Amino acid sequence: MWSLALHLFRRRYGGLRRDGGMSTAEYAIGTIAAAALAAVLYQIVTSGAVSDALQSVIERALSTQP
């Protein structure tokens, strides 16, 4: 009985601790990771092979041939 009450108490009030700088650090790491991913994707999309493939797809989509 007491272990259940202790478990419920910890579950209810255990998350009240404050970690002041944690969210700011997590946002900073997430922003850096997103910027790095965007840079990698930009390099891939602007590479010659991918650019040629995208141009080919667009030309085929816009062509008037049946």
CB 14, CB 8: distance < 8 Å: no
Whole-number pLDDT of residue 39: 96
> CA angle 57-37-39, nearest 5°?
70
d(CA 36, CA 31): 9
Q: Which residue has the tokens 């255990």?
A: 14
pTM for the whole thing? 0.48
User: Would you state the structure tokens that stand for residue 3, as one six-digit string?
Assistant: 């272990």
Whole-number pLDDT of residue 14: 65
Tens-digit pLDDT profile for residues 3-47: 777 777 777 766 656 555 567 888 889 899 999 999 999 998 888
Domain range list for the chain: 22-66
User: Would you state the structure tokens that stand for residue 26, as one six-digit string?
Assistant: 């997590």
